[in-house]
Amino acid sequence: MLTLRKPTILSNELAGALEAQIRAGDYPAGTKLPSEAQLCARYGISRNVVREALARLKSSGLVESRQGAGVFVLSASAHQSFRIVTSEGDRLALRKLFELRLEVEVAAASMAARRRQSEQLTRLEQLLLRLTDNPQPLQIEQQMQECVAEASGNEYLSGFLAYLNGADRLADGFLTVWWSQHRADLIRHWQQIIAAIRLGDPDLARREYWRYLLDSAEGCGIRGLQGWERTRMSNLAEPFAPLCAAPDAGPRRPRLPIPLGACDCHMHVFWPELQRPFTPHRSYTPPPSSLQDYMRVMDKLGLSRAVVVQPSVYGTDNHVTLETLRQGGDRFRGVVVIDPDTPMNELLRMHALGVRGVRINLLFKSGVAVSDVRTLAAKVAPLGWHLQILLDVSEFSDIEASLGRLPVPVVIDHMGHLPPEFGPQHPGFVSMLRLLERGQLWVKLSGAERISADRWPYIDVRPLAETLLATNPERLLWASDWPHTCLPGAMPNDGDLLDLLGLWTDNPALQHRVLVDNPALLYGFEPIEQGQPVGPDEKVSTL
């Protein structure tokens, strides 16, 4: 028997308890609730408390009073505390509904491009075929809308859209006439939406769905919706690029014994913007962070080698990264960002400087899209390079299909950038683990400070790191991600980040493999002999 706690507002607690029982099915639809007298006796409360609780349930759409008969539970479809009340011909209401749909459905299309499953794509394509010759296109259209929402992987979105389609009957008359006269346009819109979702391009899916809704509103006589020009979605040129904090200037020496040949597999160099401009379409603005600055960190941590990675703020302008390789010498390797049409002679020049991979950044604006993966893989395969991919595995549903059959090695940044609250059992992380176990990709043990909700030692990330180490330590790399741009939390000390490896595994052989053996294999470093100098090169100029 449920007991009520004190002190509380008893009417709220009683309402909450009854609501939980209704939603759990203890009181099915059509069931009569206990009478006021029975509830008073059961919980030892007054009639006023009971009446206030019942009033709350009625306002939530869970129950209704029937005169002389009592209070009865409504059907689940009626359990709506949110209501859209419209009247025929109300254009203001119609405008508001389209504004709501723009926000909800455009977001759903973007999520669908990242998360859709193959069966959902098949369903959309089948509906598209039916749309071409069906005399009632509105019904098919609504099914397609709901299929996109389902493909978003967010049941709240799909449920809300189903509710919207049930509530929004205002547009039906307008759209029936409009689409009968413009069926070819309707089909074209859906062809482009489905193509963007199939391609896995969330930005393109947003744009195509946005244009489709604007045409739908136009068909209902709604113009200038939200004041957006038709080109605005495709020309998002108002950059928001906040200045990032500088890295910790006093890295401490790690407690973990660092073996000769240890490599930092992910760091960046940034010149002052006046010296080398950033792309205007960026997500952040980094502070100047030179090679000389980094080599002081490198020396303090006891690292012998490093991999400089092209950051998103430079787009495909690799000048800073290549100059870093030229000045850093054999101790450095590089990962660049290129266009699919970059000439082979340019790639060979990069290879001679130490480039061994191409980066595809799917989290921050970089000018490279998920659709470029296969093209770039084929482009760099003859050079023996790899693809380095920054993504959130919780929003990339087909990792195995997309990344498991490429002609080059694949490296995943920052443990798949998985929010740690999902845990290692998340399907996207599990898919990554399967590829890791088969040796089809590499994963960087880095980015804990990015994805954790905690401070060092980032306890919530530890299950992810330990699962990766248990799965296949022969395909794992350690990286600092210096100078830690665009961090959501506190700036870490780089010595603390290196010590994380010792907290995740106390096996010296595994530590050596992650720090020395694996990077040497992937990036092609030559063996370092005892006594060979590995400190900072005093001849390196300030960049």
Residues with a known catalytic role: 481
- Pick from 497, 460, 465: nearest CA to 479: 497
Chain center to CA of 441: 20
Q: Are strands 263-267 and 305-309 parallel, antiparallel or unpaired?
A: parallel
**How far is 472 from 211, CA to CA, in rounded Å?**
46
**How far is 109 from 152, CA to CA, in rounded Å?**
7
Give the angle subtended at the CA of 78 by the CAs of 75 and 80, to the nearest 5°. 140
E strands, 282-402, where? Answer: 305-309, 332-336, 355-361, 386-390
Please report the sign of the dihedral spanned by the C-alpha atoms of residue 203, residue 205, residue 207, residue 210: negative
What are the residues whose beta carbons fall under 8 Å from the beta carbon of 229, sequence distance 6 or more?
none
What are the residues whose beta carbons fall under 8 Å from the beta carbon of 32, sequence distance 6 or more?
69, 70, 71, 72, 73
**At 138, is the secondary structure helix, strand, or coil?**
helix
- Spatial contact of 523 and 307, defined as CB atoms under 8 Å apart: yes
Partners of 411 in the β-ladder: 388, 442
Q: And the tokens for 50? A: 């009971």
Per the document, the length of the chain is 543
What are the residues whose beta carbons fall under 8 Å from the beta carbon of 85, sequence distance 6 or more?
none
**At 285, is the secondary structure helix, strand, or coil?**
strand
Q: And the tokens for 164? A: 């919207």
- Pick from 17, 82, 1: nearest CA to 49: 17
**How far is 473 from 29, CA to CA, in rounded Å?**
54
- Spatial contact of 86 and 171, defined as CB atoms under 8 Å apart: no
